[in-house]
Amino acid sequence: MQSESPAATAAPITAAAKLPGLLGLSPTDIAAFVAESGEPAFRAKQILEWIYAKRAISIEAMSSLSKSLRVALAEKFTARCLTIAKVTGSEDTTRKFLLKLQDGRYVETVLIPANPALYGGDSDRRTLCVSSQVGCAYDCKFCASGLAGFTRNLTAAEIVEQIVQVEAYAGERVDNLVFMGMGEPLANYSNVTKAIEILNAEWGIGIGARHMTVSTSGLAPQIRKLADFPLQIRLAISLHGASDDVRSQIMPVNQKHPLAELFEALQYWRSKRKQHITLEYILIEGVNDMLEQARLLAKRARGIHAKVNLIPYNTVDGLQWTRPGEEQQDAFRDVLLAAGVTATLRREKGHDIAAACGQLRLKQETAEGIIESPVPEKRITIGAGAVS
C-alpha cells in the first residue's frame, strides 16, 4: 500500500499543508510558474515530465531540478494531496478506495476489473469510477452521496490524483474512466473539464477521450456547454424516471430542469457528437419500475438513439428503498428490447460496491465526528412530500 503522506515526502524540502496539487497543472500553468521564478523556459518541460511521465511522488525526488527550484516549487505546490485511507474488495472483483483529502474530508473511488456489461461495452478494460465533489448538493432520494449534503468541489488535481494513486497502488493502468463516484461533475464544470484535459493529454495521463464518461443527474445548461467542449468524451444521464411526476419524486433536480428541457439539451449534444448517449435507470421497487415507465423510457431513448443501462437498486444503509424481483426487472428490460432499444440489465456483484459510492465516506466522516449522522428517516417518504 502506498503510505505516502505530505509529512513523509516533505523532508528536507518542507511543503506546507493544503497547497494545490501538482497533478492539476497544465503546461501553461507550469510555464507561468517557471517564468515567475526567473528560471529558464526549458525547466517547464522537465517539471511537466516529473509530474506526469515519471509521476514523481515528491518534489524532493525531482533530481534534475536545482535545489532552489525545488524549494520554490514546494512553497507553492504539493506532489500529492490525497492519501489512501482504506481499501476494500479484492483484485478479482471491485476494489473501493477511501481517499483522505488534505482538509481531512474523504472521497471514494472504485476500480472495476474488465467487465462485459460496462458503459460502452468495453469488456477488456479496467474502469475507474471517480468522484468529482465531496458530498453532493442534488439530494437524489435514493443515493448515499448526498445524505450528508454538499461540502465542496474537488480540484482538478484531486480528480487526476485519484487515477494516479489507484494506478500506483494496483500496479496497473486504468483505461476507462467514469465520473460516477460521489458528486455532480457538471456542477464542478471547470475543475472537471480541466482534469479531463490532463487525463486525456499525451503529456498527461493519456486516456482516450472516448474512454471517459461524464455522468450527470441532468443539468441541462451544462450539458449544452459540455457538448461544445472539444474532447469526444461520452455522456451518461442518471434518468431513473421516464415521466416528470416519477422523476421529480426521487430527483429534485427534475423540478429545475424537467424532462422536456433535459431532452432538448440531449438533442443538442447529439447534433454535436456521433457517440450514443447512455441513459442510466435504477430500478426501485414500486417507485419507477412500472411497465408504463418502461414504455415511456423506450420512447424517450428512441427519440435520441440512446442506450439504456438498467441497474437494480442497491440498498443504502438508512434508506428503505429496495430492488424489484428479477421477474419484474426482466419484464422491464423486455419492454425496451421489444421497442428496439439497446438495453442492458446489470446484476453483477461489482456494481453493488460501485453504485453504493458515498457510503464508505459517510461512515468514516460520521465515525470521526466530521459530520453528524444524517437523519435519513426524514428523507425517505415516497411521494411529493419527499422533495419539498
Q: Which residues pair with 133 in a beta bridge?
A: 153
| Window of 30-38, 156-164, 215-223, 266-274 that interacts with ligand SAH by CB under 6 A | 215-223
Residue 143 falls in the annotated catalytic set: no
Nearest to 69 by CA among 40, 91, 96: 40
| CA dihedral angle for residue 179, residue 181, residue 185, residue 191, rounded to 10 degrees | -80
Joined together, the cell numbers standing for residue 333 give: 428490460
Task: Name, in order, each residue with C-beta under 8 angstroms of 98's C-beta and a sequence gap of 6 or more.
Answer: 84, 85, 86, 87, 88, 106, 107, 108, 360, 361, 364
How, if at all, do strands 212-216 and 307-312 pair? unpaired
By CB under 6 A, is residue 189 in contact with ligand SAH? no
C-beta of 354: minimal distance to ligand SAH in Å? 8
Window contacting ligand SAH (CB under 6 A); options: 42-50, 162-170, 188-196, 311-319: 311-319
CB of 238 vs ligand SAH, minimal distance in Å: 4
Cβ 144 to ligand SAH, closest distance in Å? 6
Q: Does position 10 bind ligand SAH by CB under 6 A?
A: no
Q: Which residue has the cell 442506450?
A: 307
Q: Is 33 in the site for ligand SAH (CB under 6 A)?
A: no
In the complex with ligand SAH, the residue whose CB is nearer, 20 or 258, is 258
Binding-site member from 316, 335, 345, 371 for ligand SAH (CB under 6 A) = 316
Site membership for ligand SAH, residue 108 (CB under 6 A): no
Alpha-carbon distance of 29 to 13, in angstroms, equals 22
- 162 is a site residue for ligand SAH (CB under 6 A): no
Q: Binders of ligand SAH among 64-83, rule CB under 6 A?
A: none
Active-site position among 143, 161, 357, 365: 357
Interaction pattern, residues 343-362, with ligand SAH; x per rule: CB under 6 A? ------------xx------
Q: Which is nearer to ligand SAH, 9 or 133 (CB)?
A: 133
Q: Which three cell numbers stand for residue 76?
A: 507553492
Catalytic residue among 39, 60, 108, 158: 108
Q: Tell me which residue of 364, 355, 316 sits closest to 112, measured CA to CA.
A: 355
Q: Which of 184, 144, 145, 178 is nearest to 163 (CA)?
A: 178
216 binds ligand SAH per the rule CB under 6 A: yes
Segment near ligand SAH (CB under 6 A); pick from 21-29, 190-198, 307-315, 375-383: 307-315
Instruction: Decide: 156 and 198 in contact? Cβ < 8 Å.
Output: yes
The alpha carbon of 288 is separated from its chain's Cα centroid by a whole number of angstroms, namely 24
Tell whether residue 143 is a contact of ligand SAH (CB under 6 A): yes
Contact between 311 and ligand SAH per CB under 6 A: yes
H helix or E strand, kind and range, residue 216: strand 212-216
CB-nearer residue toward ligand SAH: 174 or 282: 282
Q: Does 50 bind ligand SAH (CB under 6 A)?
A: no
Number of neighbours of residue 280 by Cβ within 10 angstroms: 21
Q: How far is the CB of 374 from ligand SAH (least distance, A)?
A: 14
Residues of this chain, 220-239, that bind ligand SAH according to CB under 6 A? 238
Question: Is 184 one of the binding residues for ligand SAH (CB under 6 A)?
Answer: yes
Q: Which stretch binds ligand SAH (CB under 6 A): 164-172, 190-198, 202-210, 313-321?
A: 313-321
Taking only Cα atoms into account, the Rg of the chain, rounded to an integer number of angstroms, comes to: 22
Q: 33 and 200 in contact (C-beta within 8 Å)?
A: no
130 near ligand SAH, judged by CB under 6 A: no
108: annotated active-site residue: yes
The answer to whether residues 192 and 132 touch, using CB atoms and an 8 Å cutoff, is yes
Burial of 209 (0-12, 13-18, 19+ CB in 10 A): middle
Indicate which residues carry an active-site annotation: 108, 357
Q: Which residues bind ligand SAH (CB under 6 A)?
A: 142-143, 180, 184, 215-217, 238, 240, 280, 282, 311, 313-314, 316, 355-356
